[in-house]
Structure 1
């Protein structure tokens, strides 16, 4: 890192429904921060570490009813515990910025609100498995459900994962949950309009990071 780089690691997550462009924006944000001399680690959930990637294969493949919401929550918590221990914590301790495609708020939305599991139970698992680690800033990429569904269908086709294949009511519940989280935690969440051109979305995230940037 150059002399202008920060010494304190930061943890950023991107959240949102299917087709919001999270993966694209994770890469774009990492490149933009790199241009500013910030050393970044790009990762994802479920996955990000060897153990978590093995669990990802169990979670993302198969029929939509392969796992119950309760079983999914436990698998996600296990994957996240390994991810935090092996990748996220070491990077933050080394002063790097971690940018994660989904994190705990996806579990809260998909398995919690949409899956019918109490948020306190989800957070209790997180407290045990990952010592309650939360991002410094979470970007919620928002767009109409029908737009996201069309984007996801064009991207994945018949290869859509178990979660993308859920019915519209499920995805509406997920979107409402994310919106509630952002409303209740305004210091952590920044809503970003994902219907804008990709470069505009990236610029909006950078603007929302102004208080953390060197």
Structure 2
């Protein structure tokens, strides 16, 4: 595969989706490769159907292991339908969340085991990890305050979880970052949106200088 795979991770309220929207057009101007943006859960027709089940606020009785398996199933379909074809065509693949989210949210947040969830997802992705992951670091208190302030409509099932759940997610992310220093690079997401986007963009262009040509260089 000749493409580049970049994922974006972070707790709820980290502002990564906003940052990605700012980064994507800038990246496209810096390269002759097509830049493709997708998301998880979802990203392809079947995966989007699974997303609706996972995040439905009426599915409070969903078993944590069922939830983890649904995320892995959605991810597998997304990988097959979108990510691998994009990479095989030599394009730049940006994904708003990928496997690290499941390890942090289901493995840590739902307390069913980070190793167990990692194993489920290893089966789903067959070793296809991102070339670079940008982690947007925001503490649960700050992130949840942002969601309550800015959210339009009803929050989804995971956003409505107790603060203890979000604390476990945050701690799990910290461990994932620690274990993967070469792949995962951190941005302080408690800065202004402009600074967060600029820092993330800098991490990407620094990692792939031959792909993304910074103006003036």
2-structure distance, mates of 1:79, 1:93: 20
State which of 192, 200, 204 in structure 2 corresponds to 1:197. 192
Correspondence for 1:123: 118
Cα shift readout 1:161-185 (whole Å, capped 9, x = no counterpart):
0000000010011011111111111
Task: State how many pairs are aligned.
Answer: 208
Structure 1 position 161 matched with structure 2 position 161: no
**CA apart distance, 1:126:** 1.7
Q: Distance in 2 between matches of 1:93 and 1:103?
A: 18
Where 2:57 maps in the other structure, the secondary structure is coil
SS in 1 for 2:37: strand
Find the aligned partners of 2:138 and 2:124 in 1 and give their Cα distance.
32
Taking the aligned partners of 1:181 and 1:108, their CA distance within structure 2 comes to 8
Give the CA RMSD over aligned residues: 1.5
Unpaired runs of 5+ residues, structure 1, are 1-6
Give the Cα–Cα distance (whole angstroms) in 2 for the partners of residues 86 and 166 of structure 1. Answer: 31
Cα offset for 1:158? 5.0
Q: Determine if contact 1:123/1:132 at 8 Å carries over to the other structure.
A: no
Question: Does the alignment pair 1:207 with 2:199?
Answer: no
Helix, strand or coil at the partner of 1:159: coil
Q: What is the TM-score normalised by the length of structure 1?
A: 0.92
Question: Of 42, 51, 54, which aligns to 2:46?
Answer: 51
Structure 2 stretches of 5 or more lacking a match? 211-217
| 1:187 partnered with 2:182 | yes
Q: Is the 8 A contact 2:40 2:97 kept in 1?
A: yes
Give the match for residue 30 of structure 1: 24
Structure 1 distance, partners of 2:47, 2:4, is: 21
With structure 2 as the length reference, what TM-score do the two structures score? 0.90
2: CA distance between counterparts of 1:66 and 1:157?
Answer: 25
**Offset at residue 26 of structure 1 (A):** 1.6
Instruction: Return the offset for 1:127.
Output: 2.3
The answer to whether 1:71 aligns with 2:66 is yes
Where does residue 81 of structure 2 map in the other structure? Answer: 86
- How far apart, in 1, do the equivalents of 2:20 and 2:64 lie? 27
Distance 1:132 1:153 in 2: 37
Equivalent of 2:99, from 99, 104, 109?
104
